[in-house]
Amino acid sequence: MKETLAREAASNEMPYRVLNRVRIDSLAAQVGLDLNLYTRNRLVATSRPQLVRENLIDRRLPVEAVEALYYDGYRYTFVRERVGTFTYTTGFRALLDEEGRPRYVVAVPTLPEQERIEEERARTVAYLFGSLLLLLIVVMLTAALLARALTRPLSRLRSGLEAVARGRFEHPIPVSTRDEIGELVETFNAMQEQLAESRRKLARQERKLAWREMARQVAHEIKNPLTPMKLSVQHLRRAFERVRERVSDEDDERDRFQSVFERITSTLIEQIETLASIANEFHSFARMPPKTPEALDLNDVVQEATSLMKEEKGAVDIEDDLADDSLVVHADREELRRIYINLIKNGIQAVPEERTGRIEVATRREDGDGEAPGWAVSRVADNGVGIAEDLRDKIFEPNFSTKTSGTGLGLAITDKGISDMGGEIRFETEEGEGTTFIIRLPLAESARGEAGDGESGDY
C-alpha cells in the first residue's frame, strides 16, 4: 500500500494527500485488499461499506491502535478483532502529515484472507516444529558422540583395572586425549608398569629364595658322604703302599695292578674334590660365610684380584686403571676380592679361542648428592662374545650360565654380595664385542675427608 501511495503522489507530495483525491475503493482495488480509512479516530471511508452497514466493522478506531499510533509513536500496529466467535487480525498504518503527526490511519482487515493466513501460520508453526525437532536430534547426536568420546577412555580404564585385578600387566591403555582423562590413563599406565616390575622382582626374589633353600639342602646331602669317601680312598691307598712294601719287587702283576690302582684312586679323589667344590659353592650361595666388614680401599682389593689373575692367566692381557684417590668402602675384604676374581674369570672364559683376551679393570669416584659421600664405581670389561639379548634378563638368576660347566651361581652370589653391601651391579654388552660389568658401592663416611678436591676421570 505504501508503494501504491508513493506512485500516486506527485513530486514532493506527502502520501496522506493522495487520499484526499483518490477514492479508497480504487486504492483497495490496486493493492488487492480491503481498506478502511480513519481520521481523528473515526471511520471516514471503507472499501466494504456493506460490512459497516451490518455493523461488522467498528466505526471507531480500536483503543489499542490509538495508544500505539497516537501515544506510543508507532508507525504501524496489529490488533486482534472479533466478529461473533470468529477472530481475525487487522493491521493499522499511520500516514503522517508535515509535522509528523498521524493525519490518516489506514486499516487492512484480514477477514477475507484469514483462512490463508491461518494456513500460512500453521505451515510456519510446522516448519518451526520441524526445525526444533531437527535441532533436538542434532543436539542428541552430538551429546551421544561427546558421551561416547568421554566414556571410551573410562571404559578402557575400567578394562585395564579389571585386567590388573586378574594379574595381567602387559597391556597398557592407549592414550588418545590430552585432557584430565588422558593424564589419568598415563598415570594408570605408569602404575601398571611399576606393578609389573614389582611382580618381576618378587618372582625373581622368590626364585632366589627357592634356589637358596635347595642349594642348602643339596650342599648338605652332598658334603655328608664326601668326607668319608675321600678318607676311605686315602686309607685304601696307604694300605696298598704297606702291602706293596712286603711283596717282592719282581712281581709284574703287582706293577700292573699298582698302575691301575693309582689311576682309579686318583680319578676318584679328583671327582670327590670336584663334588666338594660344587657343594661349597651351593653352600656359599645358600648361606654366605661369616663376614667381617671393615673400612678398606677398593683400589687395594681390585689390585689384589688382578694380581692373582695375572699370575694364573698369563696368556690373557689384564689391565687395571685405578683412581688416584683412595676409594674407602665398608665391606668384607675376602668377599669383595672373590667378586672381582669371579668377574675377571667370567670375562676370560667369554673370550673365544681365536681371539687374544683382554680384560680391563678400572675404578673411579662418583660424587653424591648434597652431603652424601658419593660412590666408588668400578668396571670389569672384556672383549668376549657378549651376551645374547634373550639371555640378558636371566644373567643374575641362580642356576643360569652361558658356559657348559659350572653351577651357574657365580653371578647370583656376586649380585647378592653387592646388594648386601648397599651397592648395585649392572652390565652393558654388545654381541661379538664384549661385556662390561659396572659396580657401584657407597663410599664410607670417612672417605669424604680423604677425597679432597681432586677430580676423577671417566672410563
Local confidence pLDDT in tens for the 459 residues of the chain: 777 777 777 777 787 788 878 888 888 888 878 888 898 888 888 888 887 787 777 888 888 988 998 888 888 899 988 766 667 788 898 888 888 888 889 888 876 555 565 577 678 888 889 899 999 999 999 888 887 777 776 677 777 777 766 666 566 666 666 666 677 777 777 777 777 777 777 777 776 676 666 666 666 566 666 666 777 777 777 777 776 666 555 566 666 667 777 777 777 777 777 777 767 666 665 555 567 889 999 999 999 999 888 876 556 889 999 999 899 999 999 889 989 988 998 898 888 888 888 999 999 999 877 666 789 999 999 999 998 888 888 788 765 455 544 445 678 888 888 988 889 999 999 998 999 999 999 998 654 444 444 444 444
**367 contact partners, CB below 8 Å, separation of at least 6:** 374
CATH number for position 422: 3.30.565.10
Residue 299 and residue 323 in contact, taking contact as beta carbons nearer than 8 Å: yes
* Domain co-membership, 253 together with 236: yes
Give the per-residue pLDDT at 448: 46
User: Is residue 129 a part of any domain in this protein?
Assistant: no
* Domain co-membership, 229 together with 350: no
Q: Final residue of a domain: which of 76, 93, 112?
A: 112
User: Is residue 40 a part of any domain in this protein?
Assistant: yes
**423 contact partners, CB below 8 Å, separation of at least 6:** 375, 439, 440, 441, 442
CA 406 to CA 400: how far, in whole Å? Answer: 10
Q: Quick one: 180 exposed, middle or buried, by C-beta within 10 A (0-12, 13-18, 19+)?
A: exposed
Give the per-residue pLDDT at 177: 66
* Domain co-membership, 15 together with 80: yes
* Domain co-membership, 307 together with 435: yes
* Domain co-membership, 255 together with 399: no
User: Is residue 204 a part of any domain in this protein?
Assistant: yes
Give the per-residue pLDDT at 457: 41
Residue 377 and residue 439 in contact, taking contact as beta carbons nearer than 8 Å: yes
371 φ, ψ (degrees, to nearest 5): -85, -5
CATH number for position 55: 3.30.450.20
Amino acid at the residue 272: I
* Domain co-membership, 247 together with 342: no
Q: Final residue of a domain: which of 253, 286, 319?
A: 286
Which has the closest alpha carbon to 302: 377, 355, 230?
A: 377
* Domain co-membership, 351 together with 415: yes
* Domain co-membership, 247 together with 337: no
User: Is residue 398 a part of any domain in this protein?
Assistant: yes
User: Is residue 355 a part of any domain in this protein?
Assistant: yes
* Domain co-membership, 336 together with 396: yes
pTM of the model: 0.44
Q: Final residue of a domain: which of 263, 286, 309?
A: 286
Parent domain of 89: 2-112
* Domain co-membership, 322 together with 442: yes
Give the per-residue pLDDT at 458: 46
User: Is residue 458 a part of any domain in this protein?
Assistant: no
Give the per-residue pLDDT at 22: 82
User: Is residue 384 a part of any domain in this protein?
Assistant: yes
Q: Are strands 317-321 and 358-366 parallel, antiparallel or unpaired?
A: parallel
CA 62 to CA 361: how far, in whole Å? Answer: 114
* Angle ∠(224,228,229) on CA atoms, nearest 5: 100
* Domain co-membership, 300 together with 432: yes
User: Is residue 258 a part of any domain in this protein?
Assistant: yes
Give the per-residue pLDDT at 383: 92
* Domain co-membership, 447 together with 304: yes
Q: Are strands 328-331 and 294-297 parallel, antiparallel or unpaired?
A: antiparallel
The total number of structural domains in the chain stands at 3
237 φ, ψ (degrees, to nearest 5): -65, -40
